[in-house]
Amino acid sequence: MKLQSFQDYPFTEGGVCAAQGFKANGVYCGLKHQELSTATQQAAAANEADDAAPKKNDLAMIFADKDCAAAAVYTSNKVKGAPIVVTKAHLQNGKARAVIVNSVNANTCNADGEEKANAMCRLAADALGIAPEDVIVASTGVIGQILPIEPIAAAIPALVDGLSYEGNEEAVHAIMTTDTREKQVAVRFQIGKHTCTLGGMLKGSGMIHPNMATTLTFLTTDCAISPAMLQQALSDVVRVTLNRVSVDGDQSTNDMVCVMANGLAGNHEIKDEGKDYAVFRGALYAVMLNLARMCAADGEGATKLIECVVSDAPDEKTAETIAKSVIESSLFKAAMFGADANWGRIACAMGYSDCEYDVNKVHVDLASAKGKITVAKNGCGVPFSEDDAKTILLEDEIQVLISLGSGEASAIAWGCDLTYDYVKINGDYRS
């Protein structure tokens, strides 16, 4: 997938390690094996091919050279993973130094969940020589299964010993579950005479729906910014990026986006709104927009990234609500999988979006790298070539361009097609 670039924010390599002063690592601690039943473990042990299979990292860490300003947003699901509760408590002072995160097991709906989440923080803190309250903890994976702490404890020494300024690859692979590709990006930007860097990594493929954090995302920057302004920027940018992504309409219990800023770039600390804050917010937007697009493109079973752009709306809320409604429609998503220009499904999704707009002013185009075609004008269908439309919709990135003809506001939402593989993946998720 091609990254969307911004002139003042050139891309750089390194993900969460791109900014100076951040190390990362990821290791395999065997959580998947620990969750298998005894009978299954015995069968696996007897299977030489299984024993020879590569072991995917399932435990990651990010560590800053110095104390950081920190901020986060969390899932608004009423059922919240224990790591969410613990991290919220730790970030009340707006500071952090490290992140520890596991995949495979969500540590959610467990009687000992908070105990285990706190234990992960203590284990990390002891090994790093910092306070447990300076550790952000996160988990992703199966809900409702007890998290075994023993394999995590056993892996901590190797996890910490392997921390490096080039460890982003090991870390990003450790947080993946049903993801089919890594998702990381970083940009550089100028605050006065100082060059700053902001980078991040994301995991998310299924159980993705726009409502707060949407996925597990970890961001780092060497820009100096106060905790209050960091929180303001993060909350604002999440609203127009990750909150506008939907894969399947299911909102996770463990969603979290966190950012740490260590100030090593040497700029004057950003303490209020102004030019420097605007530049920083732009960098955050550049990174999170691309992570959002990566997330949508890698939806479970997906073959296409769908971008819905609603323009000429009376206000941003109307544009956003309609864009989300379209990319969340299962009927529309299925049509995109089949490269079927059934624009009536777009009109249907717009109509039940609980927005006020003049149907008779609606204009709809479908576009991709192969061109653009108009399928509706003034609220009615128009003649178009089905063959040309199919050629456009066979591409792996598709745009749905909707004009409401009623104002100047606009919004964008991202989703993916709905395929047979989505059912296959989720029908066998715990196996």
With tokens 């447990």, the residue in question is: 132
Tokens coding 372: 């653009």
How far apart, in Å, are the Cα atoms of 177 and each of 63, 103, 163, 362, 430?
A: 22, 6, 22, 40, 11
Q: Which one of the listed residues 87, 108, 197, 214 is annotated catalytic?
A: 214
The CA distance from 241 to 281, in Å, is 12
Asked whether residue 391 carries a pLDDT value surpassing 50, the answer given is yes
**CB atoms near residue 233 (< 10 Å):** 24
Looking at residue 114, what is its pLDDT? 95
Asked whether residue 353 carries a pLDDT value surpassing 70, the answer given is yes
User: Phi/psi zone of residue 224: left (φ > 0), alpha (ψ -120 to 50 degrees), beta?
Assistant: beta
The CA distance from 177 to 426, in Å, is 12
- The CATH topology of domain 11-297 is L-amino peptidase D-ALA esterase/amidase (3.60.70)
Asked whether residue 320 carries a pLDDT value surpassing 80, the answer given is yes
| Amino acid identity at 25 | N
Strand order in 409-416's β-sheet? 380-381, 371-377, 363-368, 397-403, 305-313, 409-416
Tokens coding 43: 């069968």
End-to-end CA distance of the chain: 29
Looking at residue 132, what is its pLDDT? 98
The CA distance from 236 to 246, in Å, is 18
CATH of domain 305-427: 3.10.20.340
With tokens 């089905």, the residue in question is: 386
pTM to 2 decimals?
0.88
Asked whether residue 27 carries a pLDDT value surpassing 60, the answer given is yes
238-277 residue pLDDT tens: 999 998 887 665 566 778 999 999 999 999 999 999 999 9
- DSSP string over 286-348: HHHHHHHHHHHHT-TT---EEEEEEEEESSHHHHHHHHHHHHH-HHHHHHHHTT---THHHHH
CA 51 to chain centre: 32
For residue 185, what are the β-bridge partners? 200
Mean pLDDT within 172-200: 93
> Are the beta carbons of 198 and 220 closer than 8 angstroms?
yes
214-223 residue pLDDT tens: 579 999 999 9
79-105 residue pLDDT tens: 878 999 999 999 999 999 999 999 999
Tokens coding 157: 């020494």
Whether 214 is catalytic is yes
Is there a common fold for 11-297 and 305-427?
no
CA angle 161, 83, 197 (to 5 degrees): 60
**CB atoms near residue 178 (< 10 Å):** 17
Domain layout of the chain by residue ranges: 11-297, 305-427
